[in-house]
């Protein structure tokens, strides 16, 4: 038999699958999975059911339903004073994940370099490799997960085609400041690179802090790609609805790829999200309060056990340092937590391309019912005696 394609040979099994399988085998509390263990809002479900019953069940237009693109455009105008043309600058995708894949494939030629900040969301790296690009990582370090400016400068070169931002950042919970974003933007301008900003946690920004969107930087409007996710925002990750906002030229290329990868996205869910975006202003306050309470509950419990970290400013993840409890690396310690204490986490070393930093941490997700958080904290109390 002839060989299968070389392109996918380097891809291992995702760490999420490995940990989730082990969690099930040991009946562990699953803080590994990056999604809520409770349902999203009732009104959204009603909207989807209304749409299905109204017969809106055939293929949607491939750029996405116009009504949804219109509501997305209005949202960015209201929240960030940014203008995106409904017809030529907005594409609805199968979650943010497809948007990331389309953007990378629309921009990257073999040999092009892509700068990103590690720990990285894993889909970036594999999408870059599929396109023949070369990932270049800058490591976020220390309690505040900051980057070293000279390391960042060194990651850029004449070969840099794209820099990927993710703010709020999974898994550190870091929010990139305006100054940090400006520093990265200046480097992108200097090296004539595009900038993709993955903002799927745009509404999960705690302690009264503010999310800064890439679309607020007009000077890079013609080289910016902004991605977000209704699945994340509305706590319905299984709906897989996202969008990509960018110039007509890049949109055109993105849609060419989209046309042959998924063609179009489930119609009734698009209708439901379009209607839900009319209530986003009230909804996002409730959403933030709910998650801020969960973050506080979880942070308090983890600190009482002895974990030493700064509470994350955004997302629903915490990256906790483990070295005060173990000499083991993240993968071994994550396995031990499942087997001995029935708590599943993600060992983040898989999210680092060049540094060993990941071996010192575990990623925990607090998008969970209060009773799930409390049960995990109860099980982890045993670590106090180590
Ligand atoms: C940083 C980041 N980007 C993108 C995604 C994927 O979003 P979606 O479910 O809309 O594809 C996730 C999901 O965990 C994420 O954490």
Give the list of residues 6+ apart from residue 178 with CB closer than 8 angstroms, or none: 212
Mutate to test the pocket of ligand 1, among 96, 214, 351 (most ligand atoms within 8 A of CB): 96
Quote the ligand 1 centre to 338 CA distance (angstroms).
25
The pLDDT score that the predictor gives to residue 8 is: 84
The pLDDT score that the predictor gives to residue 142 is: 93
Q: Cα(82)–Cα(245) distance, rounded to whole angstroms?
A: 10
Q: Is the CB of 173 under 6 A from ligand 1?
A: no
Quote the ligand 1 centre to 195 CA distance (angstroms).
17
The pLDDT score that the predictor gives to residue 10 is: 78
Answer whether 198's CB lies under 8 Å from 114's CB.
no
Q: Is the CB of 34 under 6 A from ligand 1?
A: yes
Question: Which domains are present in the chain?
Answer: 6-41+282-385 (3.90.1150.10), 44-279 (3.40.640.10)
Q: Cα(370)–Cα(360) distance, rounded to whole angstroms?
A: 27
Q: How far apart are the first and last CA of the chain?
A: 53
The pLDDT score that the predictor gives to residue 96 is: 98
Residues of the chain with pLDDT under 50: none
The pLDDT score that the predictor gives to residue 209 is: 97
Place of tokens 């087997």: 339
The pLDDT score that the predictor gives to residue 9 is: 83
Answer whether 207's CB lies under 8 Å from 193's CB.
no
Mutate to test the pocket of ligand 1, among 92, 99, 121 (most ligand atoms within 8 A of CB): 121
Q: Cα(370)–Cα(372) distance, rounded to whole angstroms?
A: 5
Q: Is the CB of 363 under 6 A from ligand 1?
A: no
Quote the ligand 1 centre to 210 CA distance (angstroms).
20
| Peptide bond preceding 119 in cis form (omega within 30 of 0) | yes
Both structure tokens of 349: 């070393």
Quote the ligand 1 centre to 383 CA distance (angstroms).
31
The pLDDT score that the predictor gives to residue 360 is: 97
Mutate to test the pocket of ligand 1, among 169, 200, 228, 238 (most ligand atoms within 8 A of CB): 200
């Amino acid at each position: 038999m002839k060989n299968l394609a070389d392109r996918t040979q380097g891809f291992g099994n995702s760490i999420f699958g490995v940990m989730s399988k082990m969690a099930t085998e040991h009946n562990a509390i699953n803080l590994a999975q990056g999604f809520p263990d409770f349902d999203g809002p009732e009104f959204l479900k009603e909207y989807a059911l209304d749409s299905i019953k109204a017969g809106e069940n055939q293929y949607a237009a491939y750029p996405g339903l116009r009504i949804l693109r219109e509501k997305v455009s209005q949202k960015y105008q209201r929240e960030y004073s940014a203008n995106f043309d409904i017809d030529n600058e907005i594409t609805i995708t199968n979650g943010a994940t497809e948007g990331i894949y389309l953007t990378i494939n629309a921009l990257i030629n073999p040999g092009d370099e892509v700068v990103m900040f590690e720990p990285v969301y894993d889909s970036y790296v594999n999408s870059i490799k599929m396109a023949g690009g070369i990932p270049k990582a800058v490591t976020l370090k220390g309690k505040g997960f900051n980057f070293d400016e000279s390391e960042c400068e060194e990651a850029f070169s004449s070969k840099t085609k794209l820099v990927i931002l993710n703010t709020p950042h999974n898994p550190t919970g870091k929010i990139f400041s305006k100054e940090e974003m400006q520093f990265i933007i200046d480097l992108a301008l200097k090296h004539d690179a595009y900038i993709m900003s993955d903002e799927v946690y745009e509404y999960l920004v705690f302690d009264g802090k503010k999310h800064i969107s890439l679309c607020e930087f007009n000077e890079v409007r013609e080289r910016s790609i902004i991605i977000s996710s209704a699945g994340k925002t509305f706590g319905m990750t299984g709906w897989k609805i996202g969008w990509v906002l960018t110039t007509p030229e890049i949109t055109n290329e993105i849609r060419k790829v989209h046309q042959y990868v998924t063609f179009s996205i489930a119609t009734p869910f698009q209708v439901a999200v379009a209607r839900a975006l009319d209530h986003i202003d009230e909804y996002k306050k409730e959403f933030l309060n709910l998650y801020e309470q969960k973050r506080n509950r979880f942070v308090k419990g983890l600190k009482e056990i002895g974990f030493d970290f700064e509470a994350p400013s955004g997302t629903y993840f915490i990256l906790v340092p483990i070295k005060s409890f173990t000499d083991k690396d993240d993968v071994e310690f994550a396995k031990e937590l499942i087997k001995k204490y029935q708590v599943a986490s993600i060992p983040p070393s898989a999210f680092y391309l060049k540094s060993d930093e990941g071996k010192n941490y575990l990623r925990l997700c607090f998008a969970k019912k209060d009773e799930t958080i409390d049960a995990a904290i109860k099980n982890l109390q045993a670590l106090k005696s180590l």
